[in-house]
């Protein structure tokens, strides 16, 4: 389990005292007006070890911020993704909420009235710079509470070497996927199409396929539509054309986690799967030539891809509204946004940083993902019921496509529980 990585930065208290000065900050609430203020920031670790821990990034950002803002200190704690959401929930429950959290969900805290809105903290130039598709997902009741921190999109990856040996071109439709997978299977490829519907991240794999079939988790009005006819048809196609024809490899999709599927791809054992930028880098390091296309749909490439975003938020408890805003404005400057995205092969969430990455040939490998981001569709993050709905999807969706499975009954069950959770809000 992840261990909190903490550091405490020393501010300019001694200097101020020596000069006989008192730092005065405008703001509201306790701690915002007299003397030094310490902001508590809790962030997720995107690294794979001590060498590339996100602690180093936040150390740098916090240090630079303190130099520009005498009187404001930053206390950073970085936790693993397995722990960070739980840690923040425990802190809030204990009445010790951080001032700023960079985690995976915000809606529960917003609905409970614990968060500042963007209008109360950050400058207009900062909020206006966010990509619209991401800010839409950060709103509750028409107010922006969840500030997008980093994003990613998904594309269909295929092993160019395996495709070339089989004489195949990049797939464009569902029929292409089935036919290509059949050809790869005949050549002994272990996973012609890897379909990770295990509990690790099956809500993402599912959404990609639902979008490619013209559906999704919600309708245009934002209401749950998990059991729509389009979604049922999509899972029935997967069950009959990939799983039923034994084209998804030796591990049943409901037992296959994303990490195992990604490892198999980098080992050259997978013909096709849905992937993100980090997988591209890891595969190429191991000599796998990666082809990428938008996820094929029934009649051609899917118009909208799936997007993923993580969030920043400011908590009201300590009353540090002004100081929180200053730090967030600083954190969202282009150099900081690009530094983080560059380190972890992720996508920036602001228009200006996205434009800078698009213009830089150093990031050419990410350009296809960047172009997909503005039209991407994210999870319904603004619903406090989404966390429960997501867990139900993780638990049940694999059974929908297994031999003898019933996609319609599984989707109806998931949708019923999601709507019950929604009505209970």
pTM, rounded to two decimals: 0.81
pLDDT for 133: 84
pLDDT one-digit tens code per residue, 289-306: 999 999 999 999 998 789
How long is the chain? 425
Q: What is the average pLDDT across 382-405?
A: 93
- Return the half-sphere exposure (C-beta side, CA atoms, 13 A cut-off) of residue 275: 32
Q: Is the pLDDT of residue 189 over 70?
A: yes
As a whole number, mean pLDDT of residues 392-419 equals 96
Class of domain 155-304+385-423: alpha beta
pLDDT of residue 374: 83
List pLDDT tens digits, range 309-331. Answer: 999 999 999 999 999 999 999 99
- Calculate the average pLDDT of the chain: 89
- The per-residue pLDDT for 32 is 44
Domain ranges (residues) in the chain? 5-151+308-374, 155-304+385-423
Task: Give the homologous superfamily in CATH for domain 5-151+308-374.
Answer: Periplasmic binding protein-like II (3.40.190.10)
pLDDT of residue 35: 54
Same fold, 5-151+308-374 and 155-304+385-423: yes
pLDDT tens for each residue of 42-62: 999 998 778 889 999 999 999
Q: At residue 11, does pLDDT exceed 50?
A: no
pLDDT higher than 50, residue 15 = no
pLDDT tens-digit series, residues 332-373? 999 999 999 989 889 999 999 999 999 999 888 888 899 888
């Amino acid at each position: 389990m992840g261990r909190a990585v903490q550091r405490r930065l020393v501010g300019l208290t001694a200097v101020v005292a020596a000069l006989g000065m008192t730092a005065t900050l405008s703001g509201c609430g306790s701690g915002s007006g007299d003397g030094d203020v310490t902001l508590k920031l809790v962030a997720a670790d995107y690294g794979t070890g001590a060498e590339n821990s996100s602690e180093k990034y936040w150390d740098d950002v916090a240090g630079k911020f303190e130099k520009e803002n005498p009187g404001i200190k930053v206390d950073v704690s970085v936790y693993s993704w397995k722990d960070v959401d739980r840690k923040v929930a425990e802190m809030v429950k204990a009445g010790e909420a951080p001032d700023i959290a960079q985690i995976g969900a915000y809606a529960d805290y917003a609905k409970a009235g614990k968060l500042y809105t963007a209008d109360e903290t950050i400058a207009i130039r900062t909020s206006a710079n966010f990509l619209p598709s991401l800010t839409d997902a950060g709103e509750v009741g028409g107010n922006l509470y969840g500030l997008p921190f980093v994003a990613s999109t998904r594309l269909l990856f295929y092993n160019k070497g395996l495709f070339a040996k089989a004489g195949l071109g990049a797939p464009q439709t569902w029929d292409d996927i089935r036919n290509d997978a059949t050809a790869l299977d005949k050549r002994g490829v272990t996973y012609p199409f890897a379909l990770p519907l295990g509990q690790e991240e099956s809500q993402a794999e599912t959404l990609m396929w639902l979008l490619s079939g013209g559906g999704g988790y919600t309708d245009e009005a934002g209401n749950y539509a998990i059991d729509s006819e389009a979604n049922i048809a999509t899972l029935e196609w997967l069950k009959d054309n990939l799983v039923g024809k034994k084209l998804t490899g030796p591990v049943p999709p409901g037992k296959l986690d994303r990490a195992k599927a990604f490892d198999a791809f980098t080992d050259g054992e997978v013909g096709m799967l849905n992937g993100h930028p980090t997988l591209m880098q890891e595969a190429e390091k191991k000599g796998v030539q990666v082809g990428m296309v938008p996820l094929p749909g029934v009649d051609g490439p899917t118009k909208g891809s799936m997007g993923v975003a993580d969030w920043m938020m400011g908590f009201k408890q300590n009353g540090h509204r002004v100081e929180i805003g200053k730090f967030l404005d600083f954190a969202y400057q282009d150099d900081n946004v690009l530094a983080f995205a560059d380190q972890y092969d992720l996508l920036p969430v602001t228009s200006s940083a996205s434009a800078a990455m698009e213009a830089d040939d150093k990031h050419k490998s990410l350009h296809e993902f960047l172009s997909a981001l503005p039209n991407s569709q994210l999870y319904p993050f603004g619903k406090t019921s989404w966390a429960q709905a997501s867990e139900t999807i993780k638990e049940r969706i694999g059974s929908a496509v297994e031999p003898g499975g019933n996609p319609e009954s599984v989707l109806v069950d998931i949708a019923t529980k999601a709507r019950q959770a929604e009505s209970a809000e």
